[in-house]
Amino acid sequence: MVIGDATLANINASAGSSQTGTDSAAELSTQFLTLLIAQMQNQDPLNPTSNADLTSQLAQINTVSGIQELNQTLSSVTSQIDASQRLQASSLIGRGVLVEGDRIVVGEADGEAVTTPFGFSLDSAASDVRVSILDAAGQEVQAYDLGAQPTGVHSLSWDGSTASGGVAEAGSYRVVISASSDGQAVTVTALNYAYVSGVITAGSGASRLDLGTAGDAALDEIYQIL
């Protein structure tokens, strides 16, 4: 007699699910062997379990135990990764970062314009990169031709001067960046400044950076630490 598929499925399900210490690999092995012995004691004497069937079932318990131990190892590794991410995230509190976005904020200090940094990320090298800064009405107030730029992240700053020779008024502006190489468009991502004010721990254990009015971001969504 062979242990039924339903019984094996239940044991495998126990091994494959998230465990909290209730069912250890040893307990699963004991459960399996208890069922195996019980079925052998009640088997048909005219049709006993063959050596091949017995070997197959013993091999299955090794698989079940292996899955349980693997799950425990993965759970431990995941916990260590989560702890490491929380530590990395907390080290960024009080720092400025560049994340995806196209916003530049202009303020004033001691009679001079003060602006937030911005930047862009190129998927590949570009022979021509142009930066255009627009006001709330969508009118261009300043533009820069940066020429050829390599692949990667580039951080920039704007002094608040306008193309007409004036100084931009305090407020929010939008940056538009275009890039091309030999006449072909190159994928470019605009980046804006954000201040890390705290760390948010999600239900899954993953940590996200609290960026205040800019929302929140995962560690892998940070393009540059300023």
CA distances from 152 to 126, 149, 155, 179 (A): 10, 9, 10, 13
- The string of pLDDT tens digits covering residues 26-85 is 666 667 667 766 766 666 555 555 556 666 666 666 666 666 665 676 666 666 666 666
pLDDT at residue 25 is higher than 70 = no
**Pairing mode, strands 140-149 and 216-218:** unpaired
Between these two residues, 212 and 35, which has the higher pLDDT value?
A: 212
Q: 96-225 domain in CATH 2.60.40.4070?
A: yes
